[in-house]
Amino acid sequence: MSQYLIRRILIALPSLLGISLVLFTVLALAPGDPFGELAQNPAVPPEVAASLREKFGMDDPIWERYVKWLTQMLQGNWGFSFVSRVDVDVLIMQRLPTTLIVIGSSQILALLVALPVGVYAAVRPYSLFDQIATTLAFIGFSLPTFFTGLMLILIFSITLDWLPFVYQSNVEATGLAFYWEHFKQSIMPVSVLGLFQAGVLTRFVRSAVLDVVRLDFVTTARAKGLRERAVIVKHIVRNAMIPVVTLVALQMPAVFGGAVVTEQIFRVPGIGSLLIAAILANDTPVIMAVTFVFACLVILFNLIADLLYGWLDPRISYR
Amino acid sequence: MEAWRRFRKHRLAVASAVILFLMIFAVLFGPVLWPVAINDIDFSAMLQGPSWAHPMGTDDLGQDVLARMLYGGRISLAVGLCAMFVAIGLGVLIGAIAGMARGSIDAALMWLTDLFLSLPQLPLLLVLIYLFRDVLKEWAGPELGVLILIIVVIGGLRWMPVARLVRAQFFSLREKEFVEAARALGASQSRQVVRHILPNSLGPVIVAATIDVAVAIIAESTLSFLGLGVPPDIPTWGRILFDAKDYLDFAPHWALFPGAAIFLTVLCINYIGDGLRDALDPRRVI
Amino acid sequence: MTEPLLDIRGLKTHFKTDDGMVRAVDGVDIAIGRGETVGVVGESGCGKTVTAMTVMKLIAMPPGEIVEGEILWQGRDIVKMSPDEMRKIRSKEIGIIFQEPMTSLNPVYTVGDQIAEVVRLHEGLSRREATDRAIEMLRLVNIPTPERRVKDYPHQFSGGMRQRVMIAMALSCNPQLLIADEPTTALDVTIQAQILDLLAEMRERLGMAIMLITHDMGVVAETTHRVVVMYAGRVVEEATVDRLFGDPKHPYTQGLIRSIPRIDTAAEKKERLEAIGGVVPSLLHPPPGCRFAARCRFATDKCTEAMPPLRDVAPGHKVACVLYDA
């Protein structure tokens, strides 16, 4: 297993390099010099601009610049935000946990909805439940997150006044009330992202289960005299999880996109809203760093998915 | 035709096709039937709810939302279609090259495809538009420039599934008898591709193309909604929503109509895609 | 005759499709005594597998439906059993193995776990005892080093070995009947013989009855006591192996036997291998009368009038054909 892990990490490295290369190419191809602009920006102290120029070695050959840039990125020297006058890595580390919590809880919510619904729909294909579930799933992933977000605000904050529509990072409460407030203000962002994902995942789960249901070993399981429930959970769902893991991993980039939108709507102080703020303020070091962090996160989740896959499917991990 | 028969059996897909056709008809000819200027500012009629004079109400400048929706719909749909063509074009090209070349070129292209699949799309989209917006504005004017950029970037980040599809089709179809026969008869490589392989991989590509239109419409709306897409004077559906979101408590109608339009379009396209998949590509499930 | 172990009487299993009812099994009678090996033969699509799956109640309903008939298992009617009662019979009293050993085992569990699952379910053994039983069963079906193999996954076994695992699994609770649905069809010829030998060996050791479903007349001749010949959802002939091969009555059986390639006779007499012309009729709208009539060289007008019933032509030899009407 550890050998498998090492091999997977070795496979992930080139993708990391590749993504950094894409990012760097974008930078290098960009008109003018994104970092050079800083020099003219009055908000940037001259010594910072000079050190930036030196740090990124503007006059070196391109491959040397890439190596230098990558080394800097990997060491966490992501530069200095000239808007908030803080090191970019500090800024991102402040906000990354919030993003991970929102994404994590919404993924959990999505799985909690999608697994039972998708499985139940697939074992009774074309039943009324299946038709309602697939229709709702279709609606769920056709609803753009920005629209669902606005709708939830309209219903639960404006009309019903149940939930706060702006996320506050400093909740003025202590003990249980503190957590309750945090929970209340997380409901809408997490649901927006979670329900969209649930729509996508329900379809994945349903079709994966439908693929497994007709396989011979399911008949074998029934012939053993197992209860239908045991057949479904132990034999059908267990096998259907293998393709679902792959599809969930492929879906991660879209999840991060959804997170950016959701954070922006509800003003959640995560790296997604940081990105938008940075773009609106032309804060290039922050923009590049956040994008790089997003890319690393995608690769990290792919790695986790690979490990899960190897753990779920004995045909892979032992080879 | 068999495919048409199967498509017709998918009732929701047929209904969606009808609705989508009506919407396309509305945005194409709507401005003729509803000849109200999109930028007629009327401060006496600010933020009004739906009425006979303004079926979808008015915005904060008293502009007629219906007229803006009809106009913006053209842009939203056009951007979706164009971005789809960019994605399909790139995808078919890269998939075909990988499928024909095989070997190390194929491996390199597939690595690139996997790489693009794991890029964080929306952040990258935002960064690209941020970095290149000014050049294109200078080159093609403030409106057209941004639109071209959005189309190219959205399409340029969506070609991967099609490339994989086309490549896979190449690999399976290459071995089929009729291609073998064409080869035996001395057909050149490019002729084989154009005459025999591409037409046969059309089904799955059409399905992917349909879904891509929906994805591109959502992408453009998302950009505009974040205030980073089209310039303010082009009222695409996403842009209207962006302008409306701060008035949600006084004028919810202003946000509801464009939001519902995006949703309905995307839903219809997805259903049509589903029906087309049943009709053209019956083996695939997802 | 003592009460048979399994007595299928007038069984009809139909399937609802968009085009109408498919009469996959349309009035089948098969009886199997204790310890007896009965072969069920016929071309693909004649209802053999559906009959077997109906006995185990493994038919998906809908679209499947048991329209008529009874399946008496030691005197109790399986058709009327509740799902819970049926579960206690599956694998405990009737074991089954399938045609495709490559896909019949769950790829994500070790073969040991899959065998253990059966005995833990039916005999309430602990995990440890169940694993010991699994090792014992693997040894019984001649898998080398069963202590190690028990921890292997199905993909680490060859097709023939997987079929051995399936047999070990089906026999792990010592059932009184083993249904073997084309157990050798997907295997290499040499492996086929090994599996058939194994089945015979198991029957001698454990004393269970076997219902061997196959389209291969050669397999039937080698391994069974009695043979039931099916055609288009009906039984057309039933006899002991010796009688059936020595004196086949039904024209379809005669055709089947003539289509067995035989090295000895063919070389000497230069006989041509005979195939039965035509195809199995549609089970959607089966023709009235004898279903074989369209392909039968002895067919007369009488054949298409009414379905000939299965009747005795000699002790223990039944045939459904107007040629033998008294």
Q: Give DSSP secondary structure letters for C90-143.
A: BTTTEEEE-S-HHHHS-TTS-HHHHHHHHHHHHH---HHHHHHHHHHHHHHTT-
Of C283, C253, C257, the residue nearest C17 (C-alpha): C283
**Which token pair is A295?**
């890319």
Residues of A in contact with B266 (CB under 8 A): 142-144
Residues of C in contact with A242 (CB under 8 A): 108
The reply to whether residue C92 touches residue A315, judged by beta carbons under 8 angstroms, is no
Where would I find the H helices in A30-127? 36-40, 46-55, 62-74, 88-123
Pick B160 or A319 by higher pLDDT: B160
The reply to whether residue A227 touches residue C87, judged by beta carbons under 8 angstroms, is yes
ipTM reported for the complex, 2 dp: 0.86
Domain locations in chain B as residue ranges: 2-28+64-279
Using the predicted structure, report yes or no on whether residue C217 has a pLDDT greater than 80. Answer: yes
Range list of β-strands (E), chain A: 80-81, 86-87
Using the predicted structure, report yes or no on whether residue B82 has a pLDDT greater than 90. Answer: yes
**Which token pair is C4?**
């048979």
* Cross-strand pairs, C40: C213, C228
Helix (H), strand (E) at residue C70: strand C64-73
CA distances from B215 to A255, B241, B286, C229 (A): 14, 18, 16, 59
* Cross-strand pairs, B64: B58
Question: B246 — contact with chain A (CB < 8 Å)?
Answer: no
CA A24-A28-A30 angle, to 5 degrees, is 115
- Nearest-CA distance B184 → chain A (Å): 38
The reply to whether residue A138 touches residue B270, judged by beta carbons under 8 angstroms, is yes
**A284-312 and B121-140 helices, crossing angle to 10°:** 140
- Nearest-CA distance A219 → chain C (Å): 7
Q: Sign of dihedral through CA atoms C107, C113, C114, C117?
A: negative
How far, in Å, CA of A36 to CA of B9, rounded? 60
What is the maximum alpha-carbon separation in chain C? 66
The reply to whether residue C118 touches residue A221, judged by beta carbons under 8 angstroms, is no
Question: B266 — contact with chain A (CB < 8 Å)?
Answer: yes
Describe the strand order of the beta sheet including C311-314 as a list of residue ranges.
C94-97, C177-181, C209-214, C37-41, C226-231, C234-240, C317-319, C311-314
Q: pTM for the full model?
A: 0.84
* pLDDT average, residue stretch C268-296: 74
The number of helices, as runs of H, and strands, as runs of E, in chain B is 13, 0
Residues of A in contact with C92 (CB under 8 A): 225
C271 confidence band (pLDDT: 50, 70, 90): low
* Cross-strand pairs, C178: C95, C210
- What percentage of chain A reaches a pLDDT higher than 70? 86
Using the predicted structure, report yes or no on whether residue A319 has a pLDDT greater than 60. Answer: no
- Let me know if chains B and A touch, i.e. at least 3 Cβ pairs under 8 angstroms: yes
User: What is the number of CB-based contacts under 8 A between chain A and chain C?
Assistant: 68
A317 confidence band (pLDDT: 50, 70, 90): low
pLDDT at B286: 38
Of B212, B118, B112, B157, the residue nearest A249 (C-alpha): B118
What is the maximum alpha-carbon separation in chain B? 77
Mutate to test the interface with A, among B116, B118, B160, B213 (most CBs of A within 10 A): B118
pLDDT at B283: 54
Using the predicted structure, report yes or no on whether residue B232 has a pLDDT greater than 50. Answer: yes
Pick B141 or A147 by higher pLDDT: A147
Residue in chain A lying closest to C116 (CA)? A224
Contact C305, C288 (CB under 8 A): yes
* Cross-strand pairs, C235: C230
Q: From the list A22, A256, A297, which residue is nearest B122 (CB)?
A: A256
Domain locations in chain A as residue ranges: 2-74, 88-312
Architecture of domain C6-93+177-186+208-266+273-324: 3-Layer(aba) Sandwich (3.40)
pLDDT at C138: 93
Residue in chain A lying closest to B227 (CA)? A280
* Residue found by looking up tokens 């193999």 in the block: C149
The reply to whether residue C108 touches residue A239, judged by beta carbons under 8 angstroms, is yes
Domain locations in chain C as residue ranges: 6-93+177-186+208-266+273-324
The reply to whether residue A225 touches residue C107, judged by beta carbons under 8 angstroms, is no
Residue in chain A lying closest to C122 (CA)? A225
pLDDT at A32: 54
CA B171-B177-B182 angle, to 5 degrees, is 90
3-state secondary structure of C236: strand
For A24-82, what is each residue's pLDDT tens digit? 887 777 665 555 555 555 566 666 666 666 655 555 677 777 887 788 777 777 777 76
Question: CB under 8 Å to A117, separation ≥6 — which residues?
Answer: A133, A137, A198, A202, A205
Of C253, C255, C209, the residue nearest C229 (C-alpha): C253
State the burial class of residue C127 (Cβ atoms within 10 Å of its Cβ: 0-12, 13-18, 19+).
exposed
Residues of A in contact with B271 (CB under 8 A): 138
Residues of A in contact with B227 (CB under 8 A): 276, 280
Range list of β-strands (E), chain B: none
Using the predicted structure, report yes or no on whether residue A1 has a pLDDT greater than 70. Answer: no
For B131-187, what is each residue's pLDDT tens digit? 887 777 777 777 788 888 889 989 998 899 889 888 888 777 777 766 677 777 777
Length of chain C, in residues: 326
- Let me know if chains B and C touch, i.e. at least 3 Cβ pairs under 8 angstroms: no
- Nearest-CA distance A253 → chain C (Å): 29
* Cross-strand pairs, C289: none
Architecture of domain A88-312: Orthogonal Bundle (1.10)
How far, in Å, CA of A279 to CA of B261, rounded? 28
3-state secondary structure of A153: helix
- Nearest-CA distance A175 → chain B (Å): 33
pLDDT at C38: 93
* Residue found by looking up tokens 């191809």 in the block: A29
Mutate to test the interface with C, among A212, A217, A229 (most CBs of C within 10 A): A217
Using the predicted structure, report yes or no on whether residue C143 has a pLDDT greater than 70. Answer: yes
| Radius of gyration (C-alpha) of chain B in whole angstroms | 22
3-state secondary structure of C147: helix
Residues of C in contact with A220 (CB under 8 A): 98, 104-106, 166, 169
CA distances from B131 to A29, B34, B264 (A): 9, 38, 32
3-state secondary structure of C312: strand
Residues of A in contact with B131 (CB under 8 A): 26-27, 30-31, 34
- The correct CATH number of B2-28+64-279 out of 3.40.50.720, 1.10.3720.10, 1.20.1250.20, 1.10.357.10 is 1.10.3720.10
Cα pseudo-dihedral C2, C4, C5, C7, rounded to 10: -160
Long-range contacts of B279-285 (CB under 8 A, 24+ apart): B279/B3, B279/B4, B279/B6, B279/B7, B279/B10, B280/B3, B280/B202, B280/B203, B280/B204, B280/B206, B280/B207, B281/B203, B281/B204, B281/B207, B282/B6, B284/B204, B284/B207, B285/A207, B285/A210, B285/A211
- Nearest-CA distance B33 → chain A (Å): 28
How far, in Å, CA of B2 to CA of C322, rounded? 45
Residues of C in contact with A224 (CB under 8 A): 90-91, 117-118, 121, 169
Q: Give DSSP secondary structure letters for C7-65.
A: EEEEEEEEEEETTEEEEEEEEEEEEE-TT-EEEEE--TTSSHHHHHHHHTT-S-TTTEE
| Range of weakest confidence among A124-138, A166-180, A304-318, B91-105 | A166-180
- Nearest-CA distance A139 → chain B (Å): 7
Number of CB atoms found within 10 A of residue B40's CB: 13
* Residue found by looking up tokens 């591709």 in the block: B193
| Range of weakest confidence among A6-15, A215-224, B30-39, C211-220 | B30-39
Residues 124-153 of B with CB under 8 A from A: 124, 126-128, 130-132, 134-135
For A258-280, what is each residue's pLDDT tens digit? 899 999 888 888 899 999 988 88
Using the predicted structure, report yes or no on whether residue C113 has a pLDDT greater than 90. Answer: yes
Contact C37, C225 (CB under 8 A): yes
A318 confidence band (pLDDT: 50, 70, 90): very low
How far, in Å, CA of A215 to CA of C106, rounded? 9
How far, in Å, CA of B279 to CA of B274, rounded? 9
- Let me know if chains A and C touch, i.e. at least 3 Cβ pairs under 8 angstroms: yes
Question: B236 — contact with chain A (CB < 8 Å)?
Answer: no
* Residue found by looking up tokens 């703020």 in the block: A277
Any chains having at least 3 CB pairs less than 8 A from chain C are: A
